[in-house]
Amino acid sequence: MKLQMVDLLTQYDSIKDEIDTAVLNVIRSGQYILGKEVKELEEKIAHNLGCKYAVGCASGTDALQVAMMALDIGPGDEVITTSFTFVATAETIALLGAKPVYVDIREADFNIDPEKIEAAITDKTKAIIPVHLYGHPAPMDGIMAIANKHNIPVIEDTAQAIGAGYNGEKAGTIGTFGCISFFPSKNLGAYGDGGMITMNDESLATKSRMIVNHGSRERYKHSEIGVNSRLDTIQAAILLVKLKYLDMWNDNRRKAAARYSELLRDIPVTTPEELRGNYHIYHQYTIRCKKRDELSNHLKEKNIPHAIYYPIPLHLQEAYAYLGYSNGDLPVTEKLTDEVLSLPMHPELTEEQQQYITDAVKEFYNN
């Protein structure tokens, strides 16, 4: 059986004519930078999520950096975040000369623990970056209560969670900023890099729009220190097509996750939870298991793709050794890095494929 961790080609085949037409229309227009499709996508993403403004940029990583630049975060500042995430979350903090300050996570949803945030706040704290990991929203009520108490902006890392919901609101619209990734494997993925920043503050929207375009609102007049991070028009056109299917694809992921959880019910693994008030969109279907590395080897033998997100937490990465963290500082994070394993997850996943995958997991534990 041929399996894919993410089946991008099958998805493309299902909407091929629409995608091809959209790409050719951009090529024929000659408007390759900041074409009309970029503005249209920004407006439709804002409407879809229920926020006032959206600003396209070149990647989800850039979205995080631009959001912090719009808040004037720089050398000497501190930004509180999680160590259990992709490196971009902390990388952008460090690139601006600020200091990542890591807080431990909750076992139930892999997200930053709001009960541990306040102890990490100092007079240098300039932002909090929760990550909506695997498509499950972080506990935003607790995070926002602390942020509002201390007047600290919140930048939601929504790279894995476009379409996810928290108490009736969409992830990426609750804090000061939301930062979306359109990396090809994401729930709404481009055919290259792309990102978007969401917000409800007009002045921050204006500033962000200038920053992504060399700090310029008017050509050759530069009001801000900026970067070259414009969303490509061809990618915007592709995303406009795919946006129409996002809700359906997320629903398919939720159905696939429910099937996985049922098929794995009598197997000694911990399946992911959807906590009350949340709408999980399962960017990843991540189990917790004992003998994780041995299970991984077994799945490899069966040609079943899988992944470990993430095997080394950021606070123990060599690049961040200068921060002075060591083993034992974030015990929940360190425990889960030894237990997590993500199974294939995409909207095109079939029941037959899921049966084969879970039979292999069952075979490992039965033996």
Q: What is the chain's pLDDT, residue by residue, as a tens digit (367 residues)?
A: 889 999 999 999 999 999 999 999 999 999 999 999 999 999 999 999 999 999 999 999 999 999 999 999 999 999 999 999 999 999 999 999 999 999 999 999 999 999 999 999 999 999 999 999 999 999 999 999 999 999 999 999 999 999 999 999 999 999 999 999 999 999 999 999 999 999 999 999 999 999 999 999 888 999 999 999 999 999 999 999 999 999 999 999 999 999 999 999 999 999 999 999 999 999 999 999 999 999 999 999 999 999 999 999 999 999 999 999 999 999 999 999 999 999 999 999 999 999 999 999 999 999 8
Helix or strand (DSSP H, E) at 320: none
Contacts (Cβ under 8 Å, ≥6 apart) of 309: 86, 134, 284, 286, 340, 342
Domain 8-103+111-243, CATH number (from 1.50.10.100, 3.40.630.30, 3.40.50.300, 3.40.640.10): 3.40.640.10
Tell me the domain boundaries of the chain.
Answer: 8-103+111-243, 246-366
User: What secondary structure letter does DSSP report for 33?
Assistant: B
Looking at residue 218, what is its pLDDT?
Answer: 86
Q: Would you say the pTM of this structure is higher than 0.95?
A: yes
8-103+111-243 shares its CATH topology with 246-366: no
Name the CATH superfamily housing domain 246-366: Aspartate Aminotransferase, domain 1 (3.90.1150.10)
Helix, strand, coil % in the chain, rounded to nearest 5: 45, 15, 40
CA 328 to CA 227: how far, in whole Å?
Answer: 38
User: Mind listing the pLDDT tens digit for each residue in 129-168?
Assistant: 999 999 999 999 999 999 999 999 999 999 999 999 999 9
Looking at residue 199, what is its pLDDT?
Answer: 98
Two structure tokens written together for 152 = 């600290």
Closest C-alpha among 367, 330, 346, 360 to residue 185: 346
CA 267 to CA 259: how far, in whole Å?
Answer: 14
